[in-house]
Chains A and B, each alone.
Chain A
């Protein structure tokens, strides 16, 4: 029988500053400010900081996109993102790993998801960042609904990053 744990340890900053905010901080119904998030993601032991900002574009597969709506199971998604970040921190010895995803209506050009990784060297920071965004995209219970300019809409199934 599989039933994954519903209680996880708080994410601890490697600077020893104590637990980071609660899991729900990984899901936001408010706009994401990538620049402000980057400002808080520096560490004296990190020579490389990588920020990925997933932004809403105005077209997909030849169709004009008006906006996106994201839905999530916030508690489960936050918990999963926290787990993914912890795994990445351990695997690449990251000093900082941040992941936050929007819910609700996200306009063209706005940020839907931010991942920040800080490591001693760039190779690890890049690799960890790609790993984190890939797992968030494919595993966290977050769903995209595209609203097209012609008035139609369509749920998910629009992953363009290879076999899923």
Chain B
């Protein structure tokens, strides 16, 4: 699975990377990422997730072919 992260998440992960056994839903993916870098735990809890420019929730079944975008809280303006 390809992972793209933005903003403050880039302090914890590479902007783009590939992950094996990343999980089948967003909760599993979050747990996997927290396992890689526990410092990102609190931030990951408040992030949104998207696949192909559409937001997803935990019911969405992730596949190894997906590119998952992890979106921290917005701070535009």
Contacts and interface: CB of A to CB of B under 8 A. Distances in A.
Nearest to A141: B71
A143 interface: yes
A64 interface: no
Given A71-B6, A156-B72, A3 B77 contact: no
Contact of B54 (A3, A101, A155): A3
Interface residues of A, number: 35
Interface of A: 1-6, 54, 70-73, 75-77, 79, 101, 112-113, 133, 136-145, 155-159, 164
Given A71-B7, A156-B8, A139 B54 contact: no
B59 A2 contact: yes
Contact of B73 (A4, A101, A157): A157
Contacts of A1: 56-57, 59-61
Interface of A is mostly: mixed
Interface residues of B, number: 24
Most buried by A among B48, B54, B56, B76: B76
B21 interface: no
A89 B76 CA distance: 21
A133 to B, nearest CB: 6
Interface in B5-28: 6-8, 11
B55 A3 contact: yes
Contacts of A101: 76-77
Interface in B35-50: 48, 50
